[in-house]
Structure 1
Amino acid sequence: MLLRVILLILPISHTSNIFAGSLLGGSHLTALYDLALILADSGHNITFVNIVSRGLDKCVPHPNIHVANIVVWDSQDEDMMWKDCIADVMKGDSGYALEAFGPSCIEVWREVWKRSAGVFSGEEVLDMFSRTQFDVILGEKVENTGLALLGTVTNVPVVNYEPSFMIELALLHNNLPMLVFSQPSLLLNHRFHRSPSFTEKLSVLKDAFIFLPFIQSGAEAMQPFLEKFGFSSLRDVKNSVKLYLTNDHPAFTFPFLRPPNDIPIGCANLLESKHAPIEFSPQIVQFLEESVGKDVIYVSFGSYAKMSDVPWFSELINILIELDLRVIVKVDKYCDKIFPESVLPLDWAPQKDLLRSGKVKVFVSHCGNNGRLETIFYNVPALCIPQFADQFINAELVKLKGFGESLMKEDIPYRAREVVTSMITDHGTYHGNMKKA
Structure 2
Amino acid sequence: ELISDYLTDATFMDRLRDEKFDIALVHQFDTCPVSVVEATGIPQFGYILPTPLIRMFTTFTGIPTLPSVFPSHLLAASHEMTFVQRFKNFLIEGMMTMAGKYAIGQAVDPLFRSKYGEDFPANADLVLKAKFLLANVHPDIEFPVPVTSKVTYFGGLGMNNVTKALEEPYASFIKNAKKVVFVSFGTVADPKTMPSAWKQAFVQLFEKNPDIHFIWRMENDVEVPKNVLRSLWHPQKDILRNPKVAAFITHAGYNSLGESIASGTPLVTVPLFGDQPRNSRLVEYRGFGVRVEKTDVTFDSLNEALHKILDNPSYEKAAQALRKIVFSSPVKAGDALRHAINFALENPDHDRDLPNLNFFQLYSLDIIGLL
Tell me how large the CA RMSD over aligned residues is.
3.2
Q: 1:207 to 1:172 in 2, by over 3 A?
A: closer
Q: Look up the equivalent residue of 2:136 and give its one-letter code.
A: N
Q: 1:205 to 1:169 in 2, by over 3 A?
A: closer
Task: Describe the superposition over 1:380-427 as per-residue Cα deviations: whole angstroms up to 9, x where unpaired.
Answer: 11111111221111111111111111111223324221110121122x
In the alignment, the residues of structure 2 paired with residue 174 and residue 121 of structure 1 have an alpha-carbon distance, to the nearest angstrom, of 31
Partner of 2:34: 148
Task: Describe the superposition over 1:213-267 as per-residue Cα deviations: whole angstroms up to 9, x where unpaired.
Answer: 9958766764565444454742143144211111111232252111211012111
Partner of 2:21: 134
Mean CA deviation greater in 296-305 or 152-161: 152-161
**Residue 191 of structure 2 corresponds to residue 307 of structure 1:** yes
Secondary structure of 2:155's aligned partner: coil
Secondary structure of 2:66's aligned partner: coil
Q: Look up the equivalent residue of 1:307 and give its one-letter code.
A: P
Secondary structure of 1:251's aligned partner: coil
Q: Look up the equivalent residue of 1:422 and give its one-letter code.
A: K
Partner of 1:364: 249
Mean CA deviation greater in 261-270 or 303-312: 303-312
Q: How far off is 1:169 after superposition?
A: 1.5
Q: How far off is 1:320 after superposition?
A: 2.8
Partner of 1:409: 294
Mean CA deviation greater in 125-134 or 302-311: 125-134
Secondary structure of 1:252's aligned partner: coil
**Residue 147 of structure 2 corresponds to residue 253 of structure 1:** no
Q: TM-score, normalised by structure 2?
A: 0.72
- Give ranges in structure 1 of 5+ residues lacking alignment: 1-113
Q: 1:136 to 1:213 in 2, by over 3 A?
A: closer
Q: 1:367 to 1:399 in 2, by over 3 A?
A: same
Secondary structure of 1:183's aligned partner: coil
Partner of 2:332: none
Q: How far off is 1:345 after superposition?
A: 1.9
Secondary structure of 1:318's aligned partner: helix
Secondary structure of 2:261's aligned partner: helix
Alignment of 1:21-420 (within 5 A): 114-115=1-2, 118=5, 122-141=9-28, 143-144=30-31, 146-153=32-39, 154-162=41-49, 163-176=51-64, 178-180=65-67, 182-186=68-72, 188-197=74-83, 199-204=84-89, 215=100, 222=108, 225-227=111-113, 228-230=115-117, 231=120, 233-271=122-160, 274-275=161-162, 278=164, 280-290=166-176, 292-293=177-178, 295-311=179-195, 312-321=197-206, 322-324=208-210, 325-331=212-218, 336-413=221-298, 414-420=300-306
CA contact (8 A) 2:133 2:151 kept: yes
CA contact (8 A) 1:299 1:365 kept: yes
Q: How far off is 1:202 after superposition?
A: 4.3
In the alignment, the residues of structure 2 paired with residue 221 and residue 303 of structure 1 have an alpha-carbon distance, to the nearest angstrom, of 32
Partner of 2:348: none
Q: 1:142 to 1:186 in 2, by over 3 A?
A: closer
CA contact (8 A) 2:61 2:129 kept: no
In the alignment, the residues of structure 1 paired with residue 143 and residue 241 of structure 2 have an alpha-carbon distance, to the nearest angstrom, of 25
Mean CA deviation greater in 367-376 or 409-418: 409-418
Task: Describe the superposition over 1:99-128 as per-residue Cα deviations: whole angstroms up to 9, x where unpaired.
Answer: xxxxxxxxxxxxxxx447845995454343
Q: 1:233 to 1:221 in 2, by over 3 A?
A: same
Query: Comparing both chains, which one has the higher relative contact order based on Cα–Cα distances under 8 Å and sequence gaps of 6 or more?
Result: 2
Secondary structure of 1:340's aligned partner: coil
Secondary structure of 2:131's aligned partner: strand
Q: Look up the equivalent residue of 1:372 and give its one-letter code.
A: L
In the alignment, the residues of structure 2 paired with residue 213 and residue 241 of structure 1 have an alpha-carbon distance, to the nearest angstrom, of 19
Of structures 1 and 2, the larger Rg is shown by: 2
CA contact (8 A) 1:366 1:385 kept: yes
Partner of 1:29: none
- Give ranges in structure 2 of 5+ residues lacking alignment: 323-371
CA contact (8 A) 2:54 2:73 kept: no
Task: Describe the superposition over 1:116-160 as per-residue Cα deviations: whole angstroms up to 9, x where unpaired.
Answer: 78459954543433443322222422634x432232222232231
In the alignment, the residues of structure 2 paired with residue 121 and residue 244 of structure 1 have an alpha-carbon distance, to the nearest angstrom, of 29
